[in-house]
Amino acid sequence: MNSAARPDDDTGLDGKVAIVTGGGATGDGIGNGRAAAMLLARAGVSVLVVDRKVELARRTVEMIAAEGGASEAFEADVTSNGQCEAMVAAALECYGRLDFLDNNVGIGSRGSVVDEEPESWQRVMRINVESMFLASKHAIPAMLASDGGGAIVNVASLAALLPSRLTAYSTSKGAVISLTRAMAVDHGRDGIRVNCVAPGPVHTPMVATPGMADELREARRKASLLRIEGTGWDVGQAVRFLLSDQARYITGQTLVVDGGTMLRGPTRF
């Protein structure tokens, strides 16, 4: 039996280097990016934690350091081409290589095309889609210049597959899924896998701010077929899996992390 195909192989994460964008979170809260960064660090990955608010990234770094992991904080607005280029350069300067990218930045928006203002629509597209284009544009050559190959995870949303009066947001996250598939086709020959995670109504600091009524939080929990509340850890685990060698034969796919919410039909959260 070919040893490369053995199901008991390890994750292949130890000694690798990752960039996690949107890796900060308010206080000690566990958002999707912070969870991914911490879980990757636990597996032996050196992580460049990127956030527009560097103090949030620094707190993630402190939490990783408390567990004995390796990471550095970096301040960047990933809607800027120049700052994405600098982000990748910083990872190479810190760690000498780049293997993984977790594109985790995104914002929400409510309303129909009639409700949405053009400026808001453009902002959602720029932050939710263009940021992933720019980060990947600079990360992929760095991956190829390392040992060749690598893996990227783009974080979309269940709203891309199950719209619920979040038109600009749903459209942007649908574009993330299409971008993922296109990148998988373009870079598969380079040994770079590109996949997508689509979280359902998980509870994170971003969702909870500036406040969420207990009734809404309970409704979100009950939307799951499992009747449990999803968290940033659930999304982070999916990201770590898709970046690992355990997903070596998976590319261009969207992994829905929603506790079965999609099977219940449209619900507004």
Q: So which residues are the catalytic ones? A: 169
| Range 136-159 burial, b when 16+ CB lie within 10 A, else e | bebbbebbbebeeebbbbbbbbbb
Longest dimension (CA), the chain: 59
Contact yes or no for 191/150 (Cβ under 8 A): yes
Interacting residues of 174 by C-beta distance below 8 A, sequence separation 6+: 156, 160
Q: Rounded distance, CA 22 to CA 52, Å?
A: 7
Nearest to 129, CA basis, from 102, 156, 147, 149:
156
How far is the C-alpha of 117 from the C-alpha of 52, rounded, in Å? 24
Q: Which residue carries 């460049």 as its tokens?
A: 48
